[in-house]
Structure 1
Amino acid sequence: MSDAPHEAGTRWLEEEEQHAWRAILRAGHLVRVGMEEALGAHDVSFGEYELLSMLSEAPGRRMRMAALADLIVQSRSRVSHTASRLERRGWVRRAPAPQDGRGVVLLLTDEGRGVLEKLAPVHVESVRRGLLDHLSREELVAYGEVMSRVVRATRASSEQASDAV
Structure 2
Amino acid sequence: MAEELEPEQLNTYFALMESVSLLHHAVEQQVRAAGELSYVQFQLLARLADAPKRQLTMTALADGVVYSRSGLTHQAGLLEKAGLITRAPSPEDQRATLVTITQDGLDRVAKILPGHIELVRELLFTPLSTTDLTALGDIMTKVRDHMRAQPPRSAAPHNQHA
- After TM superposition, the score normalised by the length of structure 1 is 0.86
Question: Between Structure 1 and Structure 2, how many residues are aligned?
Answer: 152
Aligned equivalents of 1:12, 1:119: Cα separation in 2: 42
SS of residue in 1 equivalent to 2:126: helix
Where does residue 70 of structure 1 map in the other structure?
A: 63
Q: 2:130 matched to 1:137?
A: yes
SS of residue in 2 equivalent to 1:134: coil
Q: 2:9 matched to 1:54?
A: no
What stretches of structure 1 of length at least 5 have no aligned partner?
A: 1-6
Where does residue 32 of structure 1 map in the other structure?
A: 24
Which structure has more relative contact order (CA 8 Å, sep 6+)? It is 2
Aligned equivalents of 1:88, 1:114: Cα separation in 2: 16
Deviations 1:3-61 (A, max 9, x none): xxxx2xx2311111111110000001000001011111131111111100000111110
Query: Taking structure 1 as reference, are residues 158 and 102 closer, same or farther at Cα in structure 2, changes over 3 Å only?
Result: closer
Q: Alpha-carbon deviation of 1:158?
A: 3.0
Aligned equivalents of 2:38, 2:60: Cα separation in 1: 20
Runs of 4+ deviating beyond 3 Å:
none
Alignment of 1:6-25 (within 5 A): 7=1, 10-25=2-17
Q: Is the 8 A contact 1:132 1:140 kept in 2?
A: yes
Q: Alpha-carbon deviation of 1:101?
A: 1.3
Amino acid at match of 1:153: H
